[in-house]
Amino acid sequence: MSTISVKQEKVILITGASRGIGACTAILLAKQGHKIIINYANNDQEAEHIVKKIQMNGGIATAFKANIGHSNEVIQLFEYAFETYGRLDVLINNAGIMYLDKIEDVDDQSIDQILAINLKGAVYTMREAAKRLTYGGKIINLSSSVVGLRPEGYGVYAASKAAIESLTAILAKELRGKNITVNAIAPGPTATELFLKGKSDELIEQLAKAAPLERLGTVEDIAVVLAFAVNEESNWINAQVLRVNGGIV
């Protein structure tokens, strides 16, 4: 089994990196010299755009389309990572979707999709990473501050992210002996399509004012914390959830 030496560039798989937090994190980590695999589910053009942007800055990245809600596609994604770069050091489990409904109104399809992608998809990628990540590697999961806030209408989504926090702590224990850390980053409201879609300007303004810092998070606010979680400075942090939200909870 290979070992990561201090300051070595890493091979990093970011799920859901064609847009939003994942895309910004991919660009930042590539600038730091890491090799990136950009996973996505639908948007070929946006994924290719991020790859080109990284390559134009002198970085190394490739994209691979795989729906993380399907375990066979997750296996293909990991195969691709190993075929392309020969190893995998870091998994950033970022792909996610959100539908908002009160529990009494939520339909079966929304429940199934949220659990298929946010929960089952994350388990599929964690399972492959647990088997195949380099000694000394890192798994970073995306939770959400709604696990603490518990806002009405977020029931199924918040439950899917609460599960991520449980999985984070348990997988960290199960990986004893491999020197692999498992942590979760839990953003608050962040200006991406996932958060903005379907909300009125008034509601967005209200949610932006909810944190003591009185603004929405930006993708850069989250990407810098994910980069910290990837790099050597955070090596002693394990089995933790870090909320990044301007103090909203």
The candidate with the shortest Cα–Cα distance to 48, out of 26, 70, 28, 67, is 26
d(CA 80, CA 61): 13
Q: Which of 11, 41, 133, 156 binds ligand NDP (CB under 6 A)?
A: 41
Interaction of residue 19 with ligand NDP, rule CB under 6 A: yes
Nearer to ligand NDP, 192 or 234 (CB): 192
Nearer to ligand NDP, 180 or 223 (CB): 223
For the bound state, the minimum distance from the C-beta of residue 113 to ligand NDP, rounded and expressed in Å, comes to 9
Do 134 and 1 contact (CB within 8 A), yes or no? yes
Interaction of residue 95 with ligand NDP, rule CB under 6 A: yes
Nearer to ligand NDP, 18 or 234 (CB): 18
Nearer to ligand NDP, 15 or 134 (CB): 15
First CA to last CA distance, the chain: 41
Find the binding residues for ligand NDP in span 98-117 (CB under 6 A): 98, 117
What pairs with residue 93 in β-bridges? 141
Q: Which of 20, 136, 155, 246 binds ligand NDP (CB under 6 A)?
A: 20
Nearer to ligand NDP, 40 or 85 (CB): 40
Catalytic annotation, residues: 157
Q: Which of 18, 168, 181, 183 binds ligand NDP (CB under 6 A)?
A: 18
What pairs with residue 140 in β-bridges? 92, 183
Interaction of residue 194 with ligand NDP, rule CB under 6 A: yes
- String marking each residue 145-184 x if it binds ligand NDP according to CB under 6 A: ----------------------------------------
Instruction: Return the SS3 of 61.
Output: strand
Q: Which of 13, 68, 90, 139 binds ligand NDP (CB under 6 A)?
A: 68
Nearer to ligand NDP, 94 or 183 (CB): 94
DSSP 8-state secondary structure symbol assigned to residue 217: B
Angle between helices 71-85 and 122-132 (to 10 degrees): 40
DSSP 8-state secondary structure symbol assigned to residue 120: I
CB crowding 182-210: b at 16 or more within 10 Å, else e: bbbbbbbbbbbebbeeeeeeeeeeebbeb
Q: Could you tell me the CA-to-CA distances from 215 to 20, 209, 222 in Å, in that order? A: 17, 6, 14
d(CA 233, CA 210): 31
d(CA 18, CA 27): 11
Interaction of residue 119 with ligand NDP, rule CB under 6 A: no
Q: Which of 15, 25, 168, 181 binds ligand NDP (CB under 6 A)?
A: 15
Interaction of residue 125 with ligand NDP, rule CB under 6 A: no
Question: What is the binding site for ligand NDP (CB under 6 A)?
Answer: 15-22, 39-43, 46, 67-69, 94-98, 117, 121, 142, 144, 187, 189-190, 192-195
